[in-house]
């Protein structure tokens, strides 16, 4: 493969994998069950990235189930989201390149909700950080946090270097996090991720003190904890599957109510006018879409505000069937399938964001927005009034 006997894309891929393996001291390559590729938005790739993909697409074909992270626009309704013709043309070229490689054009950061579901203990090569954390922690699969090119390389070869979180000795928790705060709403999980990420920087947390968690809570926590500093793996005692197989580390920290409040204080700017509400970071589940539709019944999104519901196309198709789409769009909300607030070209377009997501706030600040994080109720209320009211 390295000598080019299997073509250009495989040779390039092996060069990437061998270089990574050398850097991290991997002794072998290991088979992967699936791949998830980030670096899909033309906004981040630019022409150089598109050219790189087109070169690979000439003879590169994936060997395992491979799905995509969000692109820079809704692939169908991009005009409705205010995306330019020029951007759409380039983004479609990126998607065409991925499609000719045999990749599923899924464009979501929640591949585990739409059919790319690894089994416990399976080795995979995923690159979206929230999905990597979910796969490692909630599903019990094994993956490093790949970059876009190294994930793609693993897809063409069907293997990845065996180092880092593929090895059991690197999956041992190294800080015990005792949670003494009460988590009441979805955004509290984002705040918890912020608090743990900051205190347990670059560590693997073993978390106790939480009795229950819904999948949507864990999805939000995974996005936040890794964005704000922890490794993309945690153990939540009594909830995540491998938490009974490890011991609590001696090194311990505590998360109190004041840490959660401090997280909100740091994430929330002092603003009251909101011109952009985006929920679905990570992408909304069908359950969250149902909640948004319920909250919007009989209401209208304010004239000076946009409401985006970021989700996978698969979840949107379910929403169409159940009538949620009609309710949300009837109230003036917009679906943003295949994309999200972080990878769409939004810099300078909105001034103030309201969202349920701590990770969404982190990236929207890079797009020059002020941010407010709160519950789904608070976000829908901000969309309807154009104000943040708590
Ligand atoms: Fe997903 Fe975009 Fe958030 S990729 S986790 S919706 S920043």
Paired strand residues for 294: none
Of 180, 250, 247, give the one whose Cα is nearest residue 209.
180
Confidence of residue 296 (pLDDT cuts 50, 70, 90): very high
Residue 85 gets the label, from left (phi > 0), alpha (psi -120 to 50) or beta, of alpha
Q: Is the pLDDT of residue 390 over 90?
A: no
Q: What is the pLDDT of residues 299-311, one digit of tens each?
A: 999 999 999 999 9
Q: What is the pLDDT of residues 30-74, one digit of tens each?
A: 999 999 999 999 999 999 999 999 999 999 999 999 999 999 999
Residue having the nearest C-alpha atom to atom 5 of ligand 1? 282
Ligand 1 pocket test: which of 282, 364, 366 has the largest number of ligand atoms within 8 Å of its C-beta?
Answer: 282
Residue 328 near ligand 1, beta carbon < 6 Å: no
Backbone φ and ψ of 28, nearest 5°? -160, 175
Residue 282 near ligand 1, beta carbon < 6 Å: yes
Residue count of the chain, please give it.
390
Span from the CA of 356 to the centroid of ligand 1 (angstroms): 12
Start-end of H helices in the chain = 8-24, 42-57, 85-100, 129-134, 148-157, 186-199, 215-227, 257-267, 286-296, 313-322, 324-330, 358-366, 376-385
Q: Is the pLDDT of residue 18 over 80?
A: yes
Confidence of residue 389 (pLDDT cuts 50, 70, 90): confident
pTM: 0.97
Span from the CA of 247 to the centroid of ligand 1 (angstroms): 32
Residue 159 near ligand 1, beta carbon < 6 Å: no
66 and 39 Cβ atoms separated by less than 8 Å: no
Q: What is the pLDDT of residues 113-162, one digit of tens each?
A: 999 999 999 999 999 999 999 999 999 999 999 999 999 999 999 999 99
Q: What is the pLDDT of residues 228-257, one digit of tens each?
A: 998 999 999 999 999 999 999 999 999 999
Percentage with pLDDT > 70 across the chain: 100
Q: What is the pLDDT of residues 149-208, one digit of tens each?
A: 999 999 999 999 999 999 999 999 999 999 999 999 999 999 999 999 999 989 999 999
26 and 20 Cβ atoms separated by less than 8 Å: yes
Mean pLDDT across the stretch 258-280?
A: 98
Nearest atom in ligand 1 to the alpha carbon of residue 109 is 1
Residue having the nearest C-alpha atom to atom 3 of ligand 1? 281
Span from the CA of 128 to the centroid of ligand 1 (angstroms): 8
Residue 283 near ligand 1, beta carbon < 6 Å: yes
Residue 131 near ligand 1, beta carbon < 6 Å: no
SS3 per residue for 185-204: CHHHHHHHHHHHHHHCCCCC
């Amino acid at each position: 493969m390295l000598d080019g006997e299997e073509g250009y894309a495989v040779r390039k891929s092996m060069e990437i994998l061998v270089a990574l393996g050398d850097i991290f001291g991997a002794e072998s390559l290991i088979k992967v069950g699936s791949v998830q590729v980030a670096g899909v938005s033309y906004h981040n790739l630019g022409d150089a990235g598109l050219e790189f993909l087109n070169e690979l697409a000439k003879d590169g074909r994936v060997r395992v189930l491979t799905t995509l992270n969000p692109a820079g626009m809704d692939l169908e309704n991009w005009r409705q989201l205010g995306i330019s013709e020029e951007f759409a043309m380039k983004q479609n070229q990126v998607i065409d390149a991925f499609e000719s490689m045999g990749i599923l054009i899924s464009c979501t950061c929640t591949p585990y909700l739409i059919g790319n579901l690894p089994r416990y203990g399976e080795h995979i090569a995923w690159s979206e950080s929230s999905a990597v954390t979910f796969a490692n922690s909630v599903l019990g699969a094994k993956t490093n946090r790949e970059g876009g090119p190294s994930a793609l390389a693993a897809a063409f070869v069907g293997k990845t270097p065996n180092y880092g979180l593929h090895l059991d000795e690197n999956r041992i928790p190294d800080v015990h996090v005792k949670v003494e705060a009460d988590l009441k709403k979805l955004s509290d999980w984002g705040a918890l991720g912020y608090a743990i990420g900051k205190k347990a920087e670059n560590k693997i947390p073993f978390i106790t003190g939480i009795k229950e968690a819904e999948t949507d809570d864990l999805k939000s926590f995974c996005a936040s904890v890794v964005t704000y500093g922890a490794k993309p793996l945690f153990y939540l005692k009594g909830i995540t599957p491998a938490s009974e197989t490890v011991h609590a580390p001696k090194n311990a920290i505590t998360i109190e109510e004041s840490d959660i409040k401090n997280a909100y204080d740091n994430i929330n700017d002092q603003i009251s006018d909101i011109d952009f509400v985006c929920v679905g970071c990570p992408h909304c589940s069908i359950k969250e879409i149902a909640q948004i539709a319920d909250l919007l019944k009989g209401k209208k999104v304010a004239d000076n505000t946009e409401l985006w519901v970021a989700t996978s196309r698969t979840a949107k198709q379910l929403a169409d069937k159940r009538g949620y789409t009609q309710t949300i769009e009837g109230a003036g909300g917009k679906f943003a399938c295949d994309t999200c607030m972080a990878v769409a070209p939004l810099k300078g377009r909105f001034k103030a964001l309201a969202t349920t997501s701590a990770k969404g706030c982190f990236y929207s600040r890079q797009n020059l927005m002020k941010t407010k994080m709160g519950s789904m109720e608070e976000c829908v209320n901000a969309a309807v009034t154009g104000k943040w009211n708590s």
